[in-house]
Amino acid sequence: MMALAQLRKLDRYIVPVLVLAGWEAFSRSGALPAALLPAPSTVVWAWADWLVGTDGNTQTYSGHWLADMLASLSRVAAGFAIATLLGVSIGVAIGWSRKIEVVIEPTLQMIRPIPPVSWIPLAIIWFGIANKPAIFLVFLGAFFPILLNTIHGVKTCDRNLIRAGAMVGGSERKLLRYIVVPAAMPSIFAGLRIGIGSAWMLTVTAEMVAVKSGLGYVLWDSYYFLRYDLVLAAMASIGLLGFCSDLAIRFVMARVLHWQRNTTLRGGE
C-alpha cells in the first residue's frame, strides 16, 4: 500500500518531465536555431547565474534574481491587498443591499470590460514612472474577480439561514458577520485564487512599461538583447511564484473552510 501511495504522489510529475524531455530533444534536434529556442538545460544554466551568479553569463543580472523577485512580489502584494480589501467590502455591500447594488454596480460593470493594459497611459500620467502605476495595474487585474465572486457568494447565501438568524433576534450586522460572510467564503476564496493569477499577469505588463526593476522588466529587457534563455527563466520564475502564491491562498482556505473538509467532494481544496 505504501508503494502504491508513493507512485500516486509521482503522478503529478509525469507530465512536466515529459514536456521538459520533449523540449530538450526538440531544441537539440536543430529544427530551430538554439538561440531562438534554448533547451531547458540552457535555461537552467542562465537561471542559476541570475539566481546566485555562477559564471556571469547573464551579465548585469548575474546574482540579482532575489532583488528582482522581491521587487515584483512587493508590487503584487500591495496591489492584491488593496484589491482584496476593496473587492470583498464592496462585494458584500452590493450583494447584501439592493440599493447599493443599483447605485454602484452599473458603473463597475461598465469599467470591468476595459482591459487593464488600456489604463497604462493614464496610470503613468497619474502616478509617474515608479511603483504606483504598477500597483494600480495589479489592483485592476485582481479587483474584479474578487468583487464578482464576493457578490455571487453573498447573493447565493441560503435565505433560510438568514431567516433563522433574524428569528432569533440577529441584527443586520450580526447576520452579515455570522451567517452571510461565512457562507460566502468559498466564493470569496475562489475570487482570491483567480485574482492572484491576474495580479501576476498584470505585474509583468506593468513592469514592462512603468518601472525598471522586477521580473517583468528583466523579461522585456532580455528580449531586446535576444537572450531568450533569460526570457524563459523569467517566465518560469513568474510561473513558480504564481504557483506558490496560489498554494498560500489554498493553505489559508483549507484552515478557514475546515468545516468543508468532510462535506464536499475535494474537502478544503
Domain layout of the chain by residue ranges: 1-31, 42-260
Q: For 111-114, which contacts have Cβ atoms below 8 Å and span 24 or more sequence positions?
A: 112/144
The answer to whether 195 and 183 are in contact (CB under 8 A) is: no
Sign of the CA dihedral running 82, 83, 85, 90: positive
pLDDT at 67: 94
Q: What is the residue whose three cell numbers read 517583468?
A: 216
pLDDT at 234: 94
**Cα 76 to chain centroid, rounded:** 8
Q: What is the rounded CA–CA span in Å between residue 93 and residue 140?
A: 19
Mean pLDDT in consecutive groups of 10 residues from the start of the chain, 269 residues: 64 87 89 84 92 86 92 94 96 93 91 89 84 90 95 91 86 89 93 94 80 88 89 94 94 85 61
247: helix, coil or strand?
A: helix
CATH of region 42-260, choose from 1.20.1290.10, 3.40.50.410, 1.10.10.10, 1.10.3720.10: 1.10.3720.10
pLDDT at 268: 47
Q: What is the rounded CA–CA span in Å between residue 200 and residue 134?
A: 11
The answer to whether 76 and 206 are in contact (CB under 8 A) is: no
Using CB atoms within 10 Å of the CB of residue 234, give its burial: 0 to 12 exposed, 13 to 18 middle, 19+ buried. buried
The answer to whether 75 and 203 are in contact (CB under 8 A) is: yes
